[in-house]
Amino acid sequence: MKPSFSNNLNAKIDFVIFDVDNVIIDTISAARMAQSALGQTLTGALGKESADRVEQKFISNYNTLTAQAKAGAGEIQENFQTLLPRIQSWQKGVLEEGWEMKLWSREILLAIALEENDIPVRKDLIDTALNPYWHSLTTESKIRPDACQVLDICRDSGAAVHLATASDGFLEFNERQQTFFYDPQKAVQKKLNRMAILQTLELQNHDVSVGDPIGKPDERFFSQVLKDFEAKLGRKIELDRTLAVGDNLCDDVLPLLSLGVARGAWLVADEIQADGPRLLPDNPRVGVVNSLNKLPGIPWSPS
Ligand SMILES: [Mg+2]
């Protein structure tokens, strides 16, 4: 029998909200290519030795963010704890204008990497190095094969789909003030451009809620996600038939459950699951899968 959400008698799923990066889009290999594009551009400006050191620092801080994103609820990693105040200190301009902190700003990761190598942070350096970075991240992004499969499963089961993605920041550097500023409209547009590959799945801009200016894990963002989903469908969504899917338990899944979404699925790519998906022991509304095509097989308790 083909996997289908309709076969699971314990949980009828009619609405699915997916995270995008590393759930629908494989960003991991694209990020490596983008990092090397960044390094190459920096080589022109700084010479090979300095550029290599800056690139390595940029990569290690990016890896700190991705490692923290994979952590379980309540788990704060040591490297992340060190990095966070540094990210904050570079966005004085963002915070003073009342915006929330942009955790994933690559502009700031580059500023930190330059600072750590005693290289003055200049606007031309930030801009020229990040243009090829974003270009490469956009063009090298691929759709995960299991995402194609699960979207087919959703279509076959008649389940409606919506996407919710975090802000990438896309901050502007002010060299004189040595801080970054933020324009939410530009940030939304740049994030949509960066995810252009979604069009190959026939997903349009109205299928995606972008976390600007308020983003994950803020509940106000997820209330907006539910509103966007309903506006697109032209009808109410039934939360007891809704599933939230993400690779970040705390940022993608738990906030939607707090808003009343009945079920969540946490994608943990490197988990070995000989016996199929399991439920999270301390939160049995959340199933753990190592591949999206296992979503219909989550052993939900009867609702
Ligand atoms: Mg993700």
Q: Cα(73)–Cα(219) distance, rounded to whole angstroms? A: 16
Residues with CB under 5 A from ligand 1 (ion): 19, 21-22, 247
**CA distances for 12 relative to 132, 216, 237, angstroms:** 44, 26, 13
pLDDT in tens, 108-166: 999 999 999 999 999 999 999 999 999 999 999 999 999 999 999 999 999 999 999 99
Q: Rounded to the nearest whole angstrom, what is the distance from the C-alpha of residue 246 to the centroid of ligand 1?
A: 6
Average pLDDT across the chain, whole number: 95
Residue 120 Cα to ligand 1 middle (Å):
32
Q: Which of 70, 31, 28 is nearest to 271 (CA)?
A: 70
The CA angle 226-206-196, to the nearest 5 degrees, is: 125
Q: Distance, CA 19 to ligand 1 centroid (Å)?
A: 6
**From ligand 1's centre to the CA of 33, what distance in Å?**
18
**Pairwise CA distance, residues 209 & 230, whole Å:** 12
Q: How confident is the model at residue 1 (pLDDT cuts 50, 70, 90)?
A: low
Query: If you measure from the C-alpha of residue 251 to the centroid of ligand 1, how many angstroms do you get, rounded to a whole number?
Result: 9
Ligand 1: centre distance to CA 23 (Å)? 6
Given a contact cutoff of 8 angstroms between Cβ atoms, the answer to whether 288 and 278 are in contact is yes
Identify the residue with better confidence: 94 or 271: 94
For residue 289, the CA-to-ligand 1 centroid distance in Å is 14
Summarize the confidence of residues 257-267 as an average pLDDT.
98
Is residue 91 within 8 Å of residue 179, measured between CB atoms?
yes
CA distance 159 to 171: 36
Mean of pLDDT values over 174-182: 98
Question: Which 3 state secondary structure label does DSSP give 288?
Answer: strand
pLDDT attached to residue 121: 98
Residue 266 pairs with which residues in a beta bridge? 246, 288
| Residues 174-186, mean pLDDT to the nearest whole number | 98
Model confidence at 6, pLDDT cuts 50, 70, 90, reads confident
For the stretch 185-236, pLDDT in tens is 999 999 999 999 999 999 999 999 999 999 999 999 999 999 999 999 999 9
How remote is the CA of residue 2 from the centroid of ligand 1, in Å? 27
Could you tell me the distance, in angstroms and rounded to a whole number, from the CA of residue 46 to the centre of ligand 1?
33
Nearest of 212, 254, 198 to residue 72 by alpha carbon: 254
Map tokens 């038939």 to a residue: 241
CA of 175 to the centre of ligand 1 (A): 31
